[in-house]
Structure 1
Amino acid sequence: MTSSDQLLLFNRQTSVHQILGGGLFADVILWRQKNVTLAILILTLVSWVLFERSDYTFLSYVSNVLLLLLLILFLWAKSAQILNRPTPPIPHLQLSEENTNEAAALIRDQINMLLSVSHDIALGKDPKKFAKVSAYLVLISIIGSLTDFRTLCYTTVFLVLTVPVAYERYEKHVDSILLKGNMKLKRLYIRFNEECINKVRKWILDMNKLS
C-alpha cells in the first residue's frame, strides 16, 4: 500500500464513484449527468418554495397532481375511442415476485441488524455503539428542533448532490483532516475509558473497605 493510499479514510482503495454503486445513481450524485442533477436541484428548490410559500401541503399537492393526471388520461382514452385514435401509451407495470422477495429480504436484514445492535446496547455489551447511537440521536434531536421535516428533506437532497462531488474533488485533503481528528477522538476515548475504569475500581475498593 502506498503512502497516498494510507491517507484515504478507512484505508479504502475504491473511488467515491465505486462506493456509490458506479451506475446512474453515482453519475447523478457526482454531477457526471449534469442535466439530470441540475434538473433535480431546480425541481427540489421549486418544490420547497411552493410548499413553504403557499397553503399547499405535500399530501394535497400529490393528490391534486394525480387527480389531474388521471383526468387527462381518462379524457385522452375516451376521445381516442370516439375518434378511433391510439390510446395513451401507458406501460403495464407490475412487481415481480422476485423483486418483492429481494426487497422484503433487504428490509428484513436491515431490521434484524437494527434489533441486534439495540439488543447489544441494551445489555451494555458494546459501549462504542452506545456512544455512537447516543451521539446520532442527540444530533437528530438538535436538527429536529431547528427545522421541520419538509425543509430537512430538501436540505438532505441538496447536501447529497453537493457534498459527495466536493469530497471527490478534495478527497485527499479531507481524508487527511478526518484521519487526524479520528486519531485524537480515539485517544480521548481511551483516556475517558481508563478514567471511568479507575473510578469504578476505586469505588469497589472503598465499598470493600466499608464492608
Structure 2
Amino acid sequence: MANDTSSDSDNEIIGARVKLFGHEKPIHQVLGGGKVADILLWRDRNLSAALLGGMTVIWFLFEIVEYNFVTLLCHISITTMLVLFIWSTAADIFKWKPPQIPDIILQESFFQDLAFILHRRFNQLLPMLLHISCGIDLPIFLLNIVSLYIFSVIGSYFSFVNLLYIGFLCVHTLPIVYERYEEEINNWVSDIIIVLRKNYRSFKKNYLNRIPRGPVKPKKTQ
C-alpha cells in the first residue's frame, strides 16, 4: 500500500506540467497588450532597437566614461541648444527649412501603459511574497531565500548601473525568447519543478516526518 501511495504521488507530480508564470494567456496580453508589450516583444523593431541603443549609450557614458548625471544632462542640453541655434541661423541665411520642434516626443499612452503594468505586477507580487513568507509552501520559501541570497552575492560584484542595465537587457530580451520557445521553456521549468518536488518529498519523508512533535491539544468547542 505504501508503494502504491508513493507511486501515485510520483505520478501526480509528473502529471503536473506547468506553464511559466501560471498563465494561459499569450505573453503579449500578460505584458499589458499595449505599446509597452509591443516594444518588449519587438513588434516595433525600430523603436525597440532605438530604446536598446539608447540604454546602451547611457550605460556606456555612466559606467565606462564615468559621467556624472548632472554633468551629462547639462552637456546634452548645451549640445542640443547649439545644434538648434546653428540650424535655425543657417535656415534664415540659406532659406532652408527651419527645425521643427515636436510638441509631443513620447505619447502619453506609453507612460500610462508602463505605469499600469508596473502597478498590476506589484499588486500581484506583494501578496505572493506575503504568502511565501508565511512558510505554507516550504520548498518555494527555501528556494526564494536561496535565490535572494545568490542575488545579494551577485549584487556585491556589480555596480548599481550595471545591475540596472543587466535588468533592462533581461526585460528587453527574455519576453521575446519566451514567446518564440514557450513550449520548450515550459517543459524545462516543469522538469525542474518535478525534480525539486521529488527531492522535497524524499527530504520530508526521511527527515521532517521523523522530528518528534508534542501532542496536539483538541480544540475547545463552545
Q: TM-score, normalised by structure 1?
A: 0.63
Sequence identity of aligned pairs in percent? 28
Map of 1:181 onto structure 2: 192
Q: As a proportion of its length, which structure holds more helix? A: 1
Matches within 5 A, 1:131-210: 131-201=142-212
1:7, 1:172 within 8 Å by CA — same for their partners in 2? no
Amino acid at match of 1:117: L
CA 1:59/1:194 → structure 2, altered by over 3 Å: closer, same or farther? Answer: farther
Structure 2: how far apart are the matches of 1:43 and 1:112? Answer: 29
Structure 1: how far apart are the matches of 2:125 and 2:51? Answer: 33
Alpha-carbon distance, 1:164 to partner? 1.2
Matches within 5 A, 1:11-50: 12-50=23-61
Amino acid at match of 2:65: S
Structure 1: how far apart are the matches of 2:30 and 2:124? Answer: 23
CA 1:166/1:116 → structure 2, altered by over 3 Å: closer, same or farther? Answer: closer
Gaps of 5+ in 1: 1-5, 76-87, 92-98, 205-211
Gaps of 5+ in 2: 1-16, 86-100, 105-111, 215-222
Tell whether 2:133 aligns with 1:117.
no
CA 1:135/1:33 → structure 2, altered by over 3 Å: closer, same or farther? Answer: same
Alpha-carbon distance, 1:175 to partner? 1.0
Runs (4 or more) in structure 1 with deviation over 4 Å come to: 63-69, 88-91, 109-112, 123-126
Q: Output the aligned Cα RMSD.
A: 4.2
Map of 1:79 onto structure 2: none
Amino acid at match of 2:56: L
Q: TM-score, normalised by structure 2?
A: 0.61
Alpha-carbon distance, 1:57 to partner? 2.6
Q: Deviations over 1:154-195 (max 9, x none)?
A: 111112111111111111111111111111111112222333
2:139, 2:200 within 8 Å by CA — same for their partners in 1? no
Structure 2: how far apart are the matches of 1:34 and 1:67? Answer: 30
Counterpart pick for 2:62 among 29, 51, 54: 51
CA 1:154/1:141 → structure 2, altered by over 3 Å: closer, same or farther? Answer: same
Alpha-carbon distance, 1:111 to partner? 11
Q: What count of residue pairs does the alignment treat as equivalent?
A: 178
Matches within 5 A, 1:88-107: none
CA 1:144/1:25 → structure 2, altered by over 3 Å: closer, same or farther? Answer: same
